[in-house]
Amino acid sequence: MKQMSGDLHTHSTYSDGALNVKWLPRLAAAAGLTHLAVSDHDTLLSVEYARQNDGACGVTLIPAVELTGFDERRGRRVHLLCYAPNPTDELRAFCEHMKQARNAAAEQSLAAVEERFPQFSREFALELSRDAEVCFKGHIMRVLLEFGYTDGLYRDLYKQLSKEGVLKGPEYVPVEQVLDIARRAGAAIVLAHPSVYRTMDLFAELAAAGMIDGVEIDHPRNTEEDKAVLREAARKYGLIVTGGSDFHGLHASRPVTLGSHRTDAENIARILELSAARKS
């Protein structure tokens, strides 16, 4: 019998990933995974896909969404991986709010990029974002890449446009509110990649207060130093420990394969048991 293992952090065209969601179970199966979570940003499309297609390519799909909040005290973005949430009216309203906020910011970005680059095509960007119904910065950068203005999505041009305020992001909801919404939806809540947005201090506070169920440690952008601290804290507070590739396909700052970072059988079982208990 195959030992359980899963990539519990991946993205598709339902948000800012490059591949249609149907490809992800195929990649997971080819990598020898038993479980997969497609955790697209602030949308229930990936949750619905998992529930309608569980067992695709012989892979168990764990419904998931990566919710975005904001640590107001430190001025930093926060990502929360939420597993098996109920699609409550409150959670749907949050996702709709983020959709509208992102698209409002994208409209400003599209206009500014059109002015800067005469050959830029907003139609191409909107076509790339059709599945998500949200235009992310990555979609805009993909057009600039395709049209020869840059040699990668998140390289010097992206940094320049971000610094100059050409690429705009939405305002985010305070993380405490997002945690409450996820908790009331019955999700198992895991703080994603603390090294990426420098959320180690926030992690320590949330873990000590019992406000998160787990932490993502095996992630391509977590530092080795942070991983050691996270492991010790996970032992201290009895947290679920997850791993995920944060797979985006072509829409990534550096190459990473789906399944390269994994969650083991014990922690997959803990997520499934916790979500089942909250449902009951």
Specify the DSSP class assigned to residue 31. T
Specify the DSSP class assigned to residue 73. T
42 CB neighbour count, 10 Å cutoff: 26
The amino acid present at 53, given as its one-letter code, is N
Position 133 confidence tier, pLDDT thresholds 50, 70, 90: very high
pLDDT recorded at residue 201: 98
pLDDT above 80 for 1: no
Could you tell me if 25 and 52 lie in one domain?
yes
8 Å CB contact between 38 and 157: no
User: Angle, nearest 10°, between helix axes 200-208 and 224-237?
Assistant: 10
Could you tell me if 258 and 236 lie in one domain?
yes
Could you tell me if 182 and 256 lie in one domain?
yes
Could you tell me if 158 and 58 lie in one domain?
no
Could you tell me if 65 and 184 lie in one domain?
yes
Among residues 58, 48, 42, the alpha carbon closest in space to that of 21 is found at 48
3-class SS string, 79-91: EEEEECCCCCHHH
Mean pLDDT of the chain: 97
Mean of the pLDDT values across residues 92-119? 98
Residues 202-212 as b or e (16 or more Cβ within 10 Å = b): bbeebbeeebb
Could you tell me if 222 and 270 lie in one domain?
yes
Task: Give me the domain span that covers residue 78.
Answer: 5-94+171-279
Mean of the pLDDT values across residues 43-57? 98
pLDDT recorded at residue 110: 98
pLDDT above 90 for 188: yes
Counted domains in the chain: 2
Residues 217-243 as b or e (16 or more Cβ within 10 Å = b): bbbbebeeebeeebeebbeebebbbbb
Residue 134 Ramachandran class (φ > 0 left, ψ -120 to 50 alpha, else beta): beta
Could you tell me if 227 and 265 lie in one domain?
yes
CATH number of the domain within which 9 lies: 3.20.20.140
Mean of the pLDDT values across residues 107-116? 98
SS3 124: helix
Could you tell me if 207 and 263 lie in one domain?
yes
pTM exceeds cut of 0.75: yes
Could you tell me if 274 and 257 lie in one domain?
yes
176 CB neighbour count, 10 Å cutoff: 15
